[in-house]
């Protein structure tokens, strides 16, 4: 059996590393990896392949830096060419980026079955490019790997046939388990930045809705700078955010924070584990905060990972009141639940089993 995996953006490298490992352990399965090039800076792409020992992609399309339409269109054409050559039995796509949609669409039009990792997430906000990518990808997928029960329910509500939906758990939890300890051993980031465990707040900001609007970006940076007066705020700056900050003349705000360039996954895990609080608009970082039991404020008015809010580990900052971030982050966090809705850490193996029909896990695992 031949599976073509399509990846291209930072969170996809991290998800793919655990799934690829599981796929390559399946008897008779050959995986071919396409990197679209959506993320291309060394610290947004290369570092993950080196540090996490992901096999080099078989195809690198070099398509990134354009508008959504340009990226998706060019990827669609280039992925189709590869699929015609490779003739895979399955195309595997991850998450909700432009690379996800391009991979799914290219395959569906060639009548190649599509499998979607992280299916069924919804923000119910169609202004987000990710929401469009998710909904369309789910509806043209043949196998939908849902990370949570909420995701399963979202898919059923949209009329997707139950026999295509599989609740497997969250592959990012698999990654957190695998790399959590490695990070402790290998990362020197706390020492390098002079940080004390539980003595700082980790923040990330990159969503289009937060970075493309100068007022909103200013409110976020101002609020973080305000918090930094009490507890140091470490901000690894996403390249999209760096560009917007410069374009909107907001660079001065970065001077009030402890800003760094994007870091590799092991350093990021170390920063997350040792943070006192996390403030982020990243989907992956919200969950990692939960995996490492760090209270998190989401810099958005909604989240796809609704369980985190329900369990008391995540609070939404609506941004209407810039001053509210401080209270949300610093106030009492004692009422949190111990429930864990993201599986048992074997989502990747389940995905391998469902794709091949070969059973490795014991019944009920
Ligand atoms: C993309 C995904 C988003 C995901 C995020 C993960 C879409 C629609 N969005 O957002 O869902 O959460 O990746 O990080 O696919 N840039 C660089 N160097 C890079 C990468 C990006 O300079 O290595 C800059 C370029 O100016 C680029 C801009 O960032 O045009 C936006 O990149 P893009 O991949 O389109 O979207 P992200 O904001 O990264
Ligand atoms: N991440 C990283 N280095 C950073 C920032 C994030 O390795 O400087 C990791 C983070 O630990 C998580 C993933 O990137 O696993 C999240 O990606 P991102 O926030 O870019 O996208 P999202 O999850 O919002 O789609």
Closest to 291 (Cα-Cα) out of 179, 188, 152, 207: 179
Pick the atom of ligand 2 nearest to 280's CA.
19
Ligand 2 contacts CB of residue 263 (under 6 A): yes
pLDDT, residue 360, reads 81
Tell me, in angstroms, the distance from the centre of ligand 1 to residue 27's CA. 35
pLDDT, residue 171, reads 98
Ligand 1 contacts CB of residue 116 (under 6 A): no
* Nearest alpha carbon, ligand 2 atom 13: 11
- Ligand 1 pocket test target in 94, 239, 263 with most atoms within 8 Å of CB: 239
Residue bearing tokens 């799914």? 104
pLDDT, residue 69, reads 97
Q: Return the ligand number nearest the Cα of 304.
A: 2
Pick the atom of ligand 1 nearest to 45's CA.
23
Q: What are the tens digits of pLDDT across the range 266-305?
A: 999 999 999 999 999 999 999 999 999 999 999 999 999 9
pLDDT, residue 187, reads 97
* Nearest alpha carbon, ligand 1 atom 24: 240
Pick the atom of ligand 2 nearest to 95's CA.
25
Measured CA to CA, the distance from residue 101 to residue 104 in angstroms comes to 5
The arrangement of strands across the sheet holding 114-117 comes to: 59-60, 30-35, 2-7, 90-94, 114-117, 143-146, 165-167
Residues of the chain short of pLDDT 50, as ranges, are none
Q: Return the ligand number nearest the Cα of 235.
A: 2
Instruction: Give the catalytic positions in this structure.
Output: 206
Number of residues in the chain: 365
Tell me, in angstroms, the distance from the centre of ligand 2 to residue 59's CA. 23
In contact, 2 and 32? CB cutoff 8 Å: yes
Residues 6+ apart with CB under 8 A from 256: 221, 224, 225, 228
State the pTM of this model: 0.97
Tell me, in angstroms, the distance from the centre of ligand 1 to residue 39's CA. 6
pLDDT, residue 269, reads 98
Q: Which two tokens stand for residue 55?
A: 């096999």
In contact, 84 and 110? CB cutoff 8 Å: yes
Q: Which two tokens stand for residue 114?
A: 């599509």
Pick the atom of ligand 1 nearest to 240's CA.
29
Closest to 178 (Cα-Cα) out of 322, 14, 343: 14
């Amino acid at each position: 059996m031949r599976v073509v995996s399509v990846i291209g953006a930072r969170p996809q490298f991290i998800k793919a590393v655990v799934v690829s490992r599981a796929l390559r352990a399946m008897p008779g399965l050959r995986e071919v990896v396409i990197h679209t090039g959506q993320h291309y800076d060394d610290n947004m792409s290369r570092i993950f392949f080196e540090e996490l020992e992901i096999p080099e992609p078989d195809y690198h399309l070099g398509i990134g830096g354009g508008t959504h339409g340009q990226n998706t269109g060019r990827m669609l054409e280039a992925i189709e060419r590869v699929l015609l050559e490779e003739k895979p039995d399955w195309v595997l796509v991850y998450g909700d980026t432009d690379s996800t949609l391009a991979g799914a669409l290219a395959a569906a039009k060639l009548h190649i079955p599509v499998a979607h990792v992280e299916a069924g997430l919804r923000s119910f906000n169609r202004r987000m490019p990710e929401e469009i990518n998710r909904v369309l990808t789910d509806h043209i997928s043949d196998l939908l790997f849902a990370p949570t029960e909420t995701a399963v329910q979202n898919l059923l509500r949209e009329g997707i046939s139950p026999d295509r939906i599989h609740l497997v758990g969250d592959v990012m939890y698999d990654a957190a388990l695998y790399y959590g300890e490695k990070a402790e051993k290998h990362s020197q980031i706390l020492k390098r930045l002079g940080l004390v465990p539980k003595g700082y707040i980790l923040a990330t900001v990159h969503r289009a809705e937060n970075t493309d609007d100068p007022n909103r970006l200013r409110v976020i940076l101002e609020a973080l700078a305000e918090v930094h007066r009490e507890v140091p705020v470490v901000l690894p700056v996403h390249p999209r955010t760096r560009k917007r900050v410069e374009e909107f003349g907001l660079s001065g705000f970065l001077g009030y924070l402890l800003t760094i360039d994007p870091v590799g996954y092991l350093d990021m895990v170390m920063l997350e584990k040792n943070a006192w609080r996390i403030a982020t608009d990243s989907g992956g970082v919200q969950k990692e905060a939960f995996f490492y039991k760090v209270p998190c404020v989401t810099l958005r008015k909604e989240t796809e990972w609704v369980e985190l809010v329900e369990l008391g580990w995540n609070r939404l900052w609506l941004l209407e009141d810039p001053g509210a971030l401080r209270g949300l982050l610093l106030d009492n966090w004692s009422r949190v639940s111990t429930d864990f809705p993201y599986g048992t850490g074997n989502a990747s193996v389940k995905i391998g089993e469902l794709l091949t029909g070969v059973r490795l896990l014991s019944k009920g695992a």
